[in-house]
């Protein structure tokens, strides 16, 4: 059995017939791409593998319904993204907190109940919030958009890249620099 890449039309036709060689070829050609899409969402190797298996069977079951309105890679991305999100919903797992969420908690701690923390801690939190707002105001519009959509709203760097035309490497590099700058600007030690 050959593992050379097959054209998408031939591959889809084989998948629609539930041909074992087509399923193997699909797995070989697209395994790494599916895992690369799933991993940032599920953040666990085992869960990413589960998404991979789900995507394989979904594509095999629905290959005959692919209309070709979009590219196969776009359809595969959507199937993978949906499968990963459904896995998280099914397990009702809270996403792993990011440094931004920890910062938000630090800012919001005590805002509902100012007596819950010592006054100096409340003061430090307000200072941190002002530093953060100032740093956000200094970002250029593209970097602010990347931070908000990818860093806060949960859009993947790949989705942002496809949507805006920026290279994936540029999106990741900008996001890394922005996060680093915010951490540096907002560094605050708590006593």
Express each pLDDT in 106-115 by its tens digit: 545 544 444 4
**Tokens standing for 135?**
């740093």
Check: CB of residue 80 under 8 Å from CB of residue 35: no
Rounded Cα distance, 157 and 151, in Å:
9
DSSP 40: H
Q: Where are the alpha helices (DSSP H) in 4-156?
A: 8-16, 20-42, 45-62, 72-91, 99-108, 119-138, 141-146
Check: CB of residue 77 under 8 Å from CB of residue 121: no
Give the residue from 144, 142, 114 showing the smallest Cα distance to 126: 114
The per-residue pLDDT for 30 is 93
Q: Which domains does the chain have, with CATH numbers?
A: 8-91 (1.10.1740.10), 99-185 (1.10.10.10)
Per-residue pLDDT reduced to its tens digit, 153-166: 778 889 888 988 88
Given a cut of 50, the residues of the chain with pLDDT beneath it are 1-5, 94-98, 107, 110-116, 188-191
Rounded Cα distance, 14 and 20, in Å:
8
Q: What are phi and psi of 48, to 5 degrees?
A: -65, -40
Burial of 65 (0-12, 13-18, 19+ CB in 10 A): exposed
The per-residue pLDDT for 118 is 62
């Amino acid at each position: 059995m050959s593992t050379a890449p097959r054209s998408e039309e031939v591959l889809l036709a084989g998948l629609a017939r539930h041909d074992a060689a087509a399923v193997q070829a699909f797995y070989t050609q697209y395994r790494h791409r599916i895992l690369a899409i799933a991993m940032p969402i599920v953040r666990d190797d085992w869960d990413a593998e589960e998404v991979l298996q789900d995507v394989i069977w979904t594509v095999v079951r629905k290959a005959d319904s692919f209309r070709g309105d979009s590219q196969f890679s776009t359809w595969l991305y959507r199937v993978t993204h949906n499968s990963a999100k459904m896995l998280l919903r099914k397990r009702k797992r809270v996403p792993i907190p990011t440094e931004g969420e920890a910062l938000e908690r630090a800012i919001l701690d005590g805002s509902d109940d100012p007596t819950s923390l010592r006054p100096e801690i409340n003061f430090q939190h307000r200072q941190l919030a002002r530093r953060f707002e100032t740093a956000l105001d200094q970002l250029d519009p593209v970097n602010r958009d990347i931070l908000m959509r990818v860093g806060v709203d949960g859009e993947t760097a790949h989705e942002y890249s496809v949507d805006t035309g920026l290279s994936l490497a540029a999106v990741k590099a900008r996001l890394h620099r922005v996060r680093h700058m915010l951490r540096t600007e907002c560094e605050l030690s708590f006593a």
